Amino acid sequence: MKRTLTCVPAMIVATLIADVATADNFGHVYYDQKSDRLVVTMLYRGTNPNHQFSLRWGECQSAQSGNLPGVTVEVLDSQFDDVARQDFKKTIRFKLTDLPCERPVRVTLRSAPRFFYTLTIPAKATSN
């Protein structure tokens, strides 16, 4: 009986932590050459679907993988501390106007806590 009573508080704490801890993950990610945008499907948990996502670009690193420059970009969630009650999915089309590197470039997206996705953004298409 005593052992059961000591496990109950631990289970309550674990449940509370699970409700608070959220992690944004990447679904489908690709570069749309027609619109020159990065298309990212975010998978996240919260109390509502109204999360807004933005990018925070890091510094350009020269000569990374495959002799291409590289950059890491954080995908930020406006409601990162929202209680994890329900699953949501949102597709966002990010402009690349703040991309700090010349193209082609390897872009690594990062979301909290440890989710990464890397893709190559090709050189801009030239119009004839």
Beta strand spans in 5-122 (E): 25-32, 37-46, 53-57, 70-77, 86-95, 105-111, 115-121
Per-residue tokens: 5: 């009573």
Q: What is the pTM of this model?
A: 0.77
- Of 52, 48, 66, residue with least CA distance to 105: 66
Distance separating alpha carbons of residues 64 and 104, to the nearest angstrom:
11
3-state secondary structure of 3: helix
Structural domain including 37 reads 27-121
Per-residue pLDDT, 2: 53
Tens of pLDDT, residue by residue over 1-31, are 555 555 444 444 444 334 444 568 999 999 9
Distance separating alpha carbons of residues 76 and 111, to the nearest angstrom:
7
Q: How many domains does the chain have?
A: 1
Q: Does a structural domain hold residue 20?
A: no
